[in-house]
Amino acid sequence: MGHGADFPLVRFLALIGGVLIQLVVGGVYAWSLFGRALQAPEAMALGAVEATVPFEVAIGMIFIGTSIGGRLQDRSSPRVVALIGSAVYAGGLILASFARSADDFWLLVLGYGVIGGFGLGMAYIVPVALLQKWFPAKRALVTGIAVGGFGFGATLTSPVAQALLADNPTSPAAAFLPLGVGYLVLGVVGSLLMFAPPVTASGSAEAAGDLSVREALRTPQWYLLTAVLVVAVASGISLISMMATASVEVAGFDVAAAATIVGALALFNGAGRIAWAAVAQRVGPLPVLAVILALEGISLIALPHATGIGFVALAAVVYLCYGGAFGTLPAAAGAFFGMSHAGAIYGLMLVGWSLAGVVGPLVATWLVGPERNYLLGFTAMGVLAVLGVILPVTLRKNLRGTPSPVRAV
């Protein structure tokens, strides 16, 4: 059988399936709506830090899911891995839906966090790795389109979640039951479209020059790219995790408007993944990553000084850049290490996502504190992003003992 280009219909079906899967698991970024609802006295009356724990655990579990799922999809069937991941993710949310009081908090952590986060990671990694093999000449762009679905997932979930929360404000977690069922249906459909290419892009079992997982982990590039992910995620997710609350307490919007803003900003998360990936396709991923970190940091530093539409505009830039990092990094990894073990190598790299997803919101929430000191919290995370620009700049150098300079993406 021939190159993936000989199967245009199949590869575009795989792209559609990949976007569907990403839309499903991307609903995790609507958590701030649930976090705020769970803090209400008539609901579970959770504290601000406590209300972020299920989300942080879910993000923390992503790495375990991607590392296992990445290796499995490289070695076996991407479709089976995607099916398992989608089912586990949906099952975790359904389990979390039975939490009714503060005594059931463990159900949220176990269902939404541990089980849901693991399934999310397994499902997420499949399209990221698989579609680069189907579209070898457009790796950056097609990855951006696929993970763009992840960013848009919260846009689709937010209005549905808000309606469900409004119908049952005393039991916010009950909304996870219909959401979980819906995610299961869409996830299964998307997974069934995850057709594997008959051969790798090079036409051989393993392209010459591609690195194994062990070889990749011995290079400085793997650690520097992972560090870029840590900085970009920690900075951006600190805002995402408290966006609904910050829209009220900093920007001055009411609760209903804040919910609308959360959904609208998710569009920028998704758009950033596609837009920055398209730019990286032309100029290369490393300059794009440097610009992303700089813009993200400057916007976060300016954020606590803004209100109204100015606040939303700056937040939109942060969301664009946060999404852009996820749209650009898979192609950068593929360019450095090749595609033969893309799922496993990038799946391990997503330890940066999990690490930053846990630490970022915790640190930001702690800095904001009960005094609601958003100036300190957002400024600190913004400075982190600005300082992080040195990482992709360092990557541009031809480091000793590393693969050849970045290949065309």
Distance CA 382, CA 385 (A): 5
Confidence of residue 99 (pLDDT cuts 50, 70, 90): very high
> What average pLDDT does the segment 149-175 reach?
88
Q: Which two tokens stand for residue 25?
A: 């698991």
Mean pLDDT is lowest, of 82-86, 244-248, 295-299, for 244-248
Q: Is 205 helix (H, G, I), strand (E, B) or coil?
A: coil
List the domain boundaries for the chain.
4-395
CB 173 within 8 A of CB 108: yes
Q: Between residues 342 and 377, which one has the greater pLDDT?
A: 377
Residue 267 has pLDDT above 70, yes or no: yes
Q: Is 194 exposed, middle or buried (0-12, 13-18, 19+ CB in 10 A)?
A: buried
Count H helices and E strands in the chain, helices first: 18, 0
CA distance 80 to 87: 11
Tokens standing for residue 285: 């991923």
Nearest to 396 by CA among 405, 385, 409: 405
Separation in Å, CA 257 to CA 151, 245, 316, 366: 20, 11, 15, 25
pLDDT averaged over the chain? 86
**Over pLDDT 90: what percentage of the chain?**
40
Report yes or no: 357 and 318 within 8 Å, Cβ to Cβ: no
**Chain centre distance of CA 110:** 20
Question: What are the tokens at 386?
Answer: 């600005």
Q: Six-digit token pair at 127? A: 């399209």
In 202-307, which ranges are continuous DSSP H helix?
A: 213-216, 220-240, 243-249, 255-283, 285-302
- Rounded average pLDDT over 131-136: 84
**Is residue 37 predicted with pLDDT exceeding 70?**
yes
pLDDT at 122 over 90: yes
Look up residue 340 and give its DSSP letter: T
What span, in angstroms and rounded, lies between the C-alpha atoms of 168 and 166?
Answer: 6
Q: What type of residue is 353?
A: W
Angle, to 10 degrees, between the axis of helix 116-134 and the axis of helix 176-192?
Answer: 30
Chain centroid to CA 369: how far?
A: 26
Report the pLDDT value the prediction gives residue 198, as an integer from 0 to 100: 74
Reply yes or no on whether the pLDDT at 401 is more than 50: no
The answer, yes or no, to whether residue 203 has pLDDT greater than 90, is no
Q: What are phi and psi of 146, to 5 degrees?
A: -65, -55
Instruction: Measure the CA–CA gap between 220 and 399, rounded to whole angstroms.
Output: 8
Taking 70 as the threshold, does the pLDDT of residue 184 lie above it? yes
* Confidence grade of residue 254 (pLDDT, cut at 50, 70, 90): confident
pLDDT at 245 over 70: yes
**Residue 151 vs residues 132, 222, 291, 383, 400: alpha-carbon distances, Å:** 19, 24, 20, 24, 36
State how far the Cα of 189 lies from the Cα of 184, in Å rounded to an integer.
9
pLDDT of residue 93: 97
User: Closest Cα to residue 273, out of 130, 66, 112, 127?
Assistant: 127
- CATH (one of 1.10.275.10, 1.20.1250.20, 2.60.40.10, 1.10.1240.10) for 4-395: 1.20.1250.20
Indicate if the pLDDT at residue 296 is higher than 70: yes
